[in-house]
Amino acid sequence: MELIKRNIHMDRIRAEAVTQFTLEDDVNIPENKPDVSSLNLEKGELVIEEIKPGTDMVTVRGRLAYVVLYHTVEEGSSLVLLAGNLPFEERVNVQGVVPADTVTVEGDVEDLTMGMINSRKLNIQSLITLTARVEELYDEEAPIALHGEEKVEFRRMPLDLAQIVICKNDIFRLKEEVTLPSNYPNIFQILWDNISLGDVEFKAMEEKLTVSGDVHLFVLYEGEGEDHPVRSFETTLPFSGVLDCHGCREGMLPDICYHLGQKELAVRPDFDGEERCIGLELVLDMAIRVYEEEKLEIISDIYGVSNEVNAVTHQAKLRRLLARVTGKTKVTDHIHVTGGSVLQLLHSEGTVVLERQQTVENGILVEGSMQVKVLYITGEDEAPYGCATAQIPYHYTLEVPEIAPEDMGKVRAQVEQLQVTMLDGEEMDVKAVLSFSTVVFKNIPVELIGQVTVEELDAGRLGSLPGMVVYMVKEGDNLWNIGKKYYMPVESLRALNELESDEIKPGQKLLLVKGC
């Protein structure tokens, strides 16, 4: 007797660990840069350069690429851009990792603080979080049919499954160009920029993935002219494109983690030769996982009628799609400005920090904060620009009926809308909409039959069974386990007792005949 099996493709995280460390250093201002009067804006991005797995550990090398915009009172430009790198090497203990493993590492800058030691030296501190994981693909073999001449009884179990079809890392290149409106001066040099993505969507099509979304661009620049006037420009650019994806089909479920990798921003001349065009070249780094839902019937149990048939089983975990969930929540707060007054708001940006997610009844509770930065004009000659920051806490529950702790999906969060308005010269009102999304798979523990053995019936055991008996149905009985105990086909039980269905009740009498 042969089991006909079907491979079910699965993916899992075999090993994972998280570590945090503080990166700190004092940075001297280069000789070609003027003295620092005050700090205005700063940002940092973690760049992973090398991942080296060992035994139960991973060595990660990289750098914190920082940029700071500061004010100077020296003649010339009032705002100066300073960029640099802080290298690091960190060891992450990951139980179960071996040197041959492929390890992915995600890095986050949790907190970045810059302070003035003096006009020629800055102190930089940052809290870094590294998440190292080993993901692997594997197959579970599920029995779907039997081939052989032995007389056996078997029953099927229907399953709704989600199996992985595509698992790969890829990139999507994006090129955009925008021209300044006619009432803006030509660009002499860009002082500060902020590029972010919003409303990014992926859709599975035949042999491809479609990508669409928005690019949000903000630049602060010095204009051409004797006084080098400082201007700000902000715009949103919609984009769309296609990514080749072999094996992809319409109706499949894409679950894609993405982040902005390489970013290049350049000033280009327009048709008249004037520096009025801003060119963007962006790279979207993507971890692509595409799943397919399928209904499958597997053989869940088997017994012999004329022979002793034994099934060798093993415990497996399959899964089905439980929910694809999105949700939004509003956050509000006031930012009080100290040490000056606000004349005009220039730019605001926000990021969502997801500090905790926890399964609750019929949902996932997410908690964290939105970090807000606001660049504004003060109207003061000595320090014409200022920056206010705030952390606004949030907590929100994504509704996921029937979720269990082991079904947790990875929640992604982003700022969908951010509005900052002046209340007066010292206070701002912040209103934002945060959006959350996740794909949750339900774990299905099953006993899969891996092998079937056929032996002659034990004569002693068969002889101990009565040739005919009236059986009193007990609690928990069904036609299957009764037939299995007495080596009778279920159909024979049903016909002998004139049953219209397989439903039986405790106390009900059934006629059993050996060999029937």
DSSP 504: -
Q: Which two tokens stand for residue 103?
A: 């390890």
The tokens 């660009």 sit on which residue?
A: 187
236 vs 255: CA distance, rounded Å: 25
Beta 152-179 vs 121-147: how paired, if at all?
Answer: unpaired
What is residue 309's predicted lDDT score, i.e. its pLDDT?
A: 87
Q: Which two tokens stand for residue 446?
A: 């099953």
The pLDDT profile of the chain, 516 residues, written as one tens digit per residue, is 788 999 999 999 999 999 999 999 999 999 999 999 888 888 999 999 999 999 999 999 999 999 999 988 887 668 899 999 999 999 999 999 999 999 999 999 988 999 999 999 999 999 999 999 999 999 999 999 988 777 888 899 999 999 999 999 999 999 999 999 999 999 999 999 999 998 899 999 999 999 999 999 999 998 987 777 888 999 999 999 999 999 999 999 999 999 898 899 999 999 999 999 999 999 999 999 999 999 999 999 998 888 888 889 999 999 999 999 999 999 999 998 876 788 988 889 899 988 899 999 989 999 999 999 898 888 777 777 888 889 999 999 999 998 998 887 889 999 989 999 999 888 999 999 999 999 999 999 999 999 988 888 776 666 667 778 898 999 989 999 998 888 889 999 999 999 988 899 999 999 988 766
| Closest to 44 in 3D by CA, of 92, 109, 139 | 109
How much is the pTM?
0.86
274 vs 271: CA distance, rounded Å: 7
- Residue 37 in 3-state DSSP? coil
CB neighbour list of residue 402: distance below 8 Å, 6 or more residues apart? 322, 362, 442
DSSP code string of 50-73: EEEE-SSEEEEEEEEEEEEEEE--
20 vs 22: CA distance, rounded Å: 7
Contact 191, 346 (CB under 8 A): no
177 vs 268: CA distance, rounded Å: 9
Task: Tell me which H or E stretch contains 496.
Answer: helix 490-496
Neighbours of 393 (CB within 10 A): 12
